[in-house]
Structure 1
């Protein structure tokens, strides 16, 4: 048996450049080990709320969970693979199955008690309303100190000055 140098391109080298590209993309895509899938998300902000739309085809409503804690909205679930064993042999299976989890950090101006979700035709729409009390613009007026507060403020200032002089004299 003779030894020959291996450069990775001898035995299984495709005949054409096109077949080489096909093989490269098929092997790189199909060789990934998906333990789950990542659903596609569209998120937007309106004047009154944040809206998160998640595409979940083939997922049952009972397999979805939505949690909100410490400003983080987490949506988890599972798309189950139902194998139908009736003499079929799959040559390609590109649909992703398994569990998923998507988390979104929201600002503190949301109202977690009013979060709602609707699941219809494989699309989950989560509406996170803003807290109107936190988002409402307010003008704060500045007033003069009442006459009875002015002597107290002056007395506090004189005590602070006396305390700092005594403190520096002792050192």
Structure 2
């Protein structure tokens, strides 16, 4: 086994490779490109998976829920609203701007029947499981 002589120039080449990878990836594929990520819970019941996201201050029109490939993608934007006229913020802890959360869809779910409900700043996405009788169906032969 050969001994590798590390140098600081190697780190620069790693940084360059990472930067090239970021440029070559399609826009929106990395969660780190977004300003913030809402907190989420995923609960599995006998009938479905429920994804619950906290989105206070985000309007229903500013959120999109899509099934893309093997993922459930929730994207949106929380607009910055300056609440004090002429004042200067001393502390600004709330996050604003675009957000994205991606959840892997397990096998055995119905992508066609996914539903979403938003109320009081909480988004609930229901991903129903395929019922066993729908997984197997006898096809009549004519």
TM-score (norm 1): 0.56
Identify the residue that residue 118 of structure 2 maps to in structure 1.
119
Identify the residue that residue 67 of structure 2 maps to in structure 1.
68
Higher RCO structure, 1 or 2 (CA under 8 Å, sep 6+):
2
Tell me if the contact between 1:36 and 1:100 (Cα under 8 Å) persists in the aligned partners. Answer: yes
Tell me if the contact between 1:73 and 1:103 (Cα under 8 Å) persists in the aligned partners. Answer: yes
Shift of the alpha carbon at 1:71?
2.0
Q: Supply the distance in 1 between the matched residues of 2:119 and 2:111 (Cα, whole angstroms).
A: 22
Tell me if the contact between 1:64 and 1:76 (Cα under 8 Å) persists in the aligned partners. Answer: yes
Identify the residue that residue 51 of structure 1 maps to in structure 2.
50
Shift of the alpha carbon at 1:85?
5.5
Tell me if the contact between 2:34 and 2:100 (Cα under 8 Å) persists in the aligned partners. Answer: no
Identify the residue that residue 79 of structure 1 maps to in structure 2.
78
CA 1:110/1:95 → structure 2, altered by over 3 Å: closer, same or farther? same
Shift of the alpha carbon at 1:69?
2.2
Identify the residue that residue 17 of structure 1 maps to in structure 2.
none
Shift of the alpha carbon at 1:70?
1.9
Tell me if the contact between 1:109 and 1:134 (Cα under 8 Å) persists in the aligned partners. Answer: no
Deviations 1:30-68 (A, max 9, x none): xxxx95111010101001100000000000100000110
Shift of the alpha carbon at 1:113?
1.0
Q: Supply the distance in 2 between the matched residues of 1:110 and 1:64 (Cα, whole angstroms).
A: 22
The structure having more radius of gyration, on CA atoms, is 1
CA 1:84/1:103 → structure 2, altered by over 3 Å: closer, same or farther? same
User: Larger % of helix: which?
Assistant: 1
Shift of the alpha carbon at 1:88?
1.1
Identify the residue that residue 103 of structure 2 maps to in structure 1.
104
User: Larger % of strand: which?
Assistant: 2
Residue ranges of structure 1 left out of the alignment (5+ in a row): 1-33, 138-171
CA 1:92/1:134 → structure 2, altered by over 3 Å: closer, same or farther? farther
